[in-house]
Structure 1
Amino acid sequence: MAPLTVFVTTWNTGLQGSKAQSQDLTGWLLPVLHNTAKDPELPEGVVPDLYAIGVQELLPVHLALAGLSRPVLAALTSRIQSLLSAHATSLSPNKTPEKYTLVSKSSHVGVALWVFARDKTMEGRLGKPGTATLGLWYGGMGNKAAVGVRIPVRRGKDGGWEILTFVNTHLEAHDKNVPRRNAQYQNILSSLIFHTTDPLATPTQVFDTSHLFLLGDLNYRLAKNPPAEGLKDGKASDDVLTLEKARAEMVDSDTLRREQREGRVFGGLREGDLTRFAPTYKRIVGQVEGYSKKRRPGWTDRILLASHTDPPHLFSPQSTLDPIPAQAPQNTTSIAHFSSTPELTISDHKPVHAVLLLPEVEHSTPAPHLAPLLPPAPSPHPPRPAATPQEILLAWKLLGTLLDRLVGWPWCLAVLLGAGNERTGMGVGAFLAMIWGIWWSGVWSA
């Protein structure tokens, strides 16, 4: 069968910050979709088979900790589905109606992930999905978290089953907390456990998959202040050579790449060329260009991937050092498009998105539980950690949920009674207004 096209995007909406505002959060998808459709490097009229959409800081922290994300998720799911279907229809030469169906969604506090499938190409090819959630902050709280969706996909006509896993995460902030981010990543490897209703499937860890896509606000910054030339978003009038040189220098000081080269995190994962766009954080809300002087800039918003067909040379120390990673061969997943959307100015982050092409399968695996898996982490990375026992995970999740509510509900009450200030973010009244706005815009566009 034809290659599989996967569209992956991540955005920290910034709704936990002091400038939180009520808004239709789906508005950010429109410029992303339109800019991607106009990319001359992509085949004309390409329509993704799968969309994986991840957000962080989905709503203000006090509302998220109180467990009030469910109405936001419900409203956004319907709205996003409508947007994707309408966009695909617009790309059709004859405007043939297209439809996307929600495969699965997963959320924890302010981190959410949706996976949608195109009915025309994916109907009848998907197995039973699995989900996973994990609080990563102290005591299992969900202020920092990871969520995942795992999907079996029949890639061949009669077989060729593979497992696709999507993980969206929000790791610890601030320059000094690199070791804490590293520890949270290791916690994801050991404790983000996927469950499914498939009787043949057993609980599995993140890397027990054929393809892995890890996205989110990973919060790794630059190790030093960057040259001013590299912080421009890039225009036709800019000196391209100067811009590329500055960006290459910045990638060399990227702490995620450094920690990966030294074998501490992200073993066996790769990403696109970061020099294609300026660092995504910390941007000035309301401006296309410019950075806040309160934080050191960085490519905090990332999309990493791995496929069972990836050759070892993609993960050599030199590959993770080079601004432009080694090109993937034709028989493994390629990054057809990788970019950011600086025009979006309602957050201190810029969204990042990628179009990934999975080649035709060369195996005939007859069932999902027999699908090929990713290899062990390459040197110098140590073996991946064993799974955390189920009893410990359950206790950790119960404690985290209890702490979330003990903090979230009193905080909501304080904001509702007017005891909060600008830095507490959006109040309950604005939260309800946001839900109404999302629902009403969906009805109006239907």
Structure 2
Amino acid sequence: MAPLSIFLTTWNTGLQGSKAQSQDLTSWLLPVLQSTANDPEMPDGIIPDIYAIGVQELLPVHLALAGLSRPVLAALTARITSLLSAHASSLSPSKAPESYRLVSRVSHVGAALWVFARERTMEGKVGKASTSSLGLWWGGMGNKAAVGVRIPIRRGKEGGWETFTFVNTHLEAHDHNISRRNAQYQNILSSLVFTTSDPLAEPSQIFDTSHLFIMGDLNYRLSKSPPAEYLREGTPSDDILVLEKERVAMFELDTLRREQREGRVFGGLREGDLTRFAPTYKRIVGKIEGYSKKRIPGWTDRILFASHTDPPYLFSPQASLTPTVPPGPHSSTRIITFGSTPELTISDHKPVHAIVSLPEIEHSAPAAHLAPVLPPAPSPHPVRPPPTPKEVLLAWKLLGTFLDRAIGLPWCLIVLLGGGNERTGLGVGAFFAMIWGVWWSGVWSGSA
């Protein structure tokens, strides 16, 4: 089978996912495909075989906690399917109609993940998908969460099975919460597990896969604010060498790479060159340029990945010291393009996207459970934790869901009482509470 191309994208919509339905999503989901359609250096897979789309903060928190995201998810699914299919048809070399189908969708409170497959190249090659979700906040609440999709794909004519695991996550906010983010990542390693209908099969963790892609609002910021003049998208009139020098200086302040280099998080994963675009957070809503002065900026929105064919040096501590490393051999997964989409302005985050190309297979695994898997994390990263017992996971999910609804549903009622205004709703609720208290006191006094 020819090399496999995958389009990955992550976007924190800033609680404005419902507004995304009426936005022009072309710049988000098709940011480079049109401009590269006639580029001879691009692979034949310019129409991606797989799309993996991750979103965080899909809805206002009260609606998400109350479990009321289904209509928005359904509307976005239909919109994305139509957009991808129409664009693929317009670029198809044979001019024949193209289509994408939804392989799997999973959501948890405000985090959602879609995986689509191109019918023309993937028909009959995609096995049954499995999903997993995990609340990462206190008590298992889903205000911060992780969701995952695992898909077996047959890459040879008769065999060559590989497993693909996609994870979308939203980690703890605020500059000082680095250790909390690290702990949430460790929780993902142990508790975002995939199960099958086979009662004898052991639960598998995210690294028990041939290819792993982790994306999301990871919330790692710069260690301090850079000079204000460094924080710009760049224009054709900018000196490219100066712009690159400024971004490399900012990259040296990136706390995720520092934590990764020290062996505390994201062992065995790599990513593209972040200096290709400006930090994606915290942007001014409604503007292409500009940053809020209330937060330290950062490349909070990330896409990291690993493939079983990648050489170890791509994951070494030395590799994480610089934004670029030597390209891997022909047998490794290759980053075709990596960038951001500043044109989308409804959120204080900018989307990030990447296209990666997986080489032709060199194995003939006859079944998905015999597919090659990723190696252990390199030094100085510790051994990955064992899976959390099923009973503990079930209890954690039940508690988290109970807390989500216990907070989300009353919160929705408050907003409803206020006609959509939370503060007004609190006032109306307080007024009714006072009336009820006076009435109850009268009933109690009368009965006495």
Q: TM-score, normalization: structure 2?
A: 0.91
Which runs of structure 1 show a deviation greater than 6 angstroms over 4 or more consecutive aligned residues? 422-425
Q: Which residue of 1 aligns with 2:283?
A: 283
Local SS of the residue matching 2:32? helix
Larger radius of gyration: 2
CA contact (8 A) 2:86 2:98 kept: yes
Q: Which residue of 2 aligns with 1:218?
A: 218
Deviation at 1:233, TM superposition (A): 0.6
Q: Structure 1 regions of 5+ residues with no counterpart? A: 426-446
Deviation at 1:28, TM superposition (A): 5.5
Deviations 1:410-435 (A, max 9, x none): 1000000018747999xxxxxxxxxx
Which of 12, 16, 27 is the matching residue for 1:31? 27
CA contact (8 A) 2:18 2:58 kept: no
Deviations 1:58-95 (A, max 9, x none): 11100000010112212221221111101101112453
Q: Structure 2 regions of 5+ residues with no counterpart? A: 426-448
Q: Which residue of 2 aligns with 1:328?
A: 328
Q: Which residue of 1 aligns with 2:203?
A: 203
Q: Which amino acid aligns with 2:357?
A: L
Q: Which residue of 2 aligns with 1:128?
A: 128
Q: Is 1:397 the equivalent of 2:393?
A: no
Superposition pairs of residues 329-408 of structure 1, within 5 angstroms: 329-408=329-408
Partner Cα separation in structure 1 for residue 300 and residue 423 of structure 2: 22
CA contact (8 A) 1:135 1:146 kept: yes
Partner Cα separation in structure 2 for residue 215 and residue 390 of structure 1: 25
Partner Cα separation in structure 2 for residue 386 and residue 103 of structure 1: 29
Local SS of the residue matching 1:27? coil
Deviations 1:309-349 (A, max 9, x none): 11111011111010213322210111001000001111100
Partner Cα separation in structure 1 for residue 398 and residue 374 of structure 2: 31
Q: Which amino acid aligns with 1:147?
A: V
Partner Cα separation in structure 2 for residue 417 and residue 395 of structure 1: 33
Identity of aligned residues (%): 73
Q: Which amino acid aligns with 1:306?
A: A
Deviations 1:377-399 (A, max 9, x none): 00000000000000000000000
Quickly say closer, same or farther: Cα 1:86–1:110, change in 2 above 3 A: same
Q: Which residue of 1 aligns with 2:153?
A: 153
Partner Cα separation in structure 2 for residue 98 and residue 206 of structure 1: 32
Partner Cα separation in structure 1 for residue 92 and residue 221 of structure 2: 40
Quickly say closer, same or farther: Cα 1:266–1:63, change in 2 above 3 A: same
Q: Which residue of 2 aligns with 1:13?
A: 13
Quickly say closer, same or farther: Cα 1:422–1:42, change in 2 above 3 A: farther
Q: Is 1:77 the equivalent of 2:106?
A: no
Q: Which amino acid aligns with 1:241?
A: L
Q: Which amino acid aligns with 1:383?
A: V
Local SS of the residue matching 2:403? helix
Local SS of the residue matching 2:7? strand
Q: Which residue of 1 aligns with 2:444?
A: none
Partner Cα separation in structure 2 for residue 136 and residue 244 of structure 1: 36
Partner Cα separation in structure 2 for residue 26 and residue 350 of structure 1: 17
Superposition pairs of residues 34-433 of structure 1, within 5 angstroms: 34-37=30-33, 38-39=35-36, 40=39, 42-43=42-43, 46-197=46-197, 202-418=202-418, 421=421
CA contact (8 A) 1:221 1:255 kept: yes
Deviations 1:227-257 (A, max 9, x none): 3343111111001111111100111110000
Local SS of the residue matching 1:162? strand
Partner Cα separation in structure 2 for residue 373 and residue 295 of structure 1: 40
Partner Cα separation in structure 2 for residue 350 and residue 416 of structure 1: 31
CA contact (8 A) 1:272 1:325 kept: no
Quickly say closer, same or farther: Cα 1:424–1:116, change in 2 above 3 A: farther
CA contact (8 A) 1:131 1:196 kept: no
Quickly say closer, same or farther: Cα 1:136–1:348, change in 2 above 3 A: same
CA contact (8 A) 1:229 1:242 kept: no
CA contact (8 A) 2:203 2:387 kept: no
Question: How many residues of Structure 1 are paired with residues of Structure 2 in the alignment?
Answer: 421
Taking CA–CA contacts closer than 8 Å with sequence separation of 6 or more, which of the two structures ends up with the larger relative contact order? 1
CA contact (8 A) 2:328 2:334 kept: yes
Partner Cα separation in structure 2 for residue 360 and residue 336 of structure 1: 15
Deviations 1:240-288 (A, max 9, x none): 1111111001111100000000000000000000000000000001100
Quickly say closer, same or farther: Cα 1:107–1:236, change in 2 above 3 A: same
CA contact (8 A) 2:2 2:359 kept: yes
Quickly say closer, same or farther: Cα 1:236–1:205, change in 2 above 3 A: same
Partner Cα separation in structure 2 for residue 181 and residue 134 of structure 1: 14
Deviation at 1:42, TM superposition (A): 3.1
Partner Cα separation in structure 2 for residue 346 and residue 383 of structure 1: 41
